[in-house]
Amino acid sequence: MRKVTTDELADMLQKSETWVFNVLAPKEFERGHIPGTENIPIGGSDFLAQARAVVPDEDTPVVVYCAGPECKASARAANALAEAGYMEVYAYEGGMKEWIAAGNEVETGERTVARRSHREGAP
């Protein structure tokens, strides 16, 4: 697991091959998340199954984030992905707290099928 900064994450979000997961509970995700990210809660028993359904290729870069530096969910998720065989796993430990403090955009509401299609490069 490697750590990324706010600026590095902003750059990674521009790359269609990088997936970014918010690993908090769905209610937290709905309250606010980084635009273009998927919600796969680490607290669920099927975290790895959900991650594999979205990103079946273990060579695909994956970034995970949670609420902020005091939240340990991103580190737990990153470790779980690395142990499952994912080769490029990054943790944005600054989470929503640092993302917002840097003045970046935040979305609210549930993820949509359209967003997933956009991330996959579909028109």
Give the model's pLDDT for residue 37.
93
Apex 118 CA angle, 82 and 23, nearest 5: 35
Residue 75's nearest CA partner among 14, 17, 23, 15 is 23
Q: What whole-number distance in Å separates Cα of residue 50 and Cα of residue 44?
A: 9
Q: What whole-number distance in Å separates Cα of residue 122 and Cα of residue 39?
A: 20
Using the predicted structure, report yes or no on whether residue 112 has a pLDDT greater than 80: no
Q: What pLDDT, in 10s, does the model give residues 40-85?
A: 999 888 999 999 999 999 999 999 999 999 999 999 999 999 999 9
Give the model's pLDDT for residue 111.
61
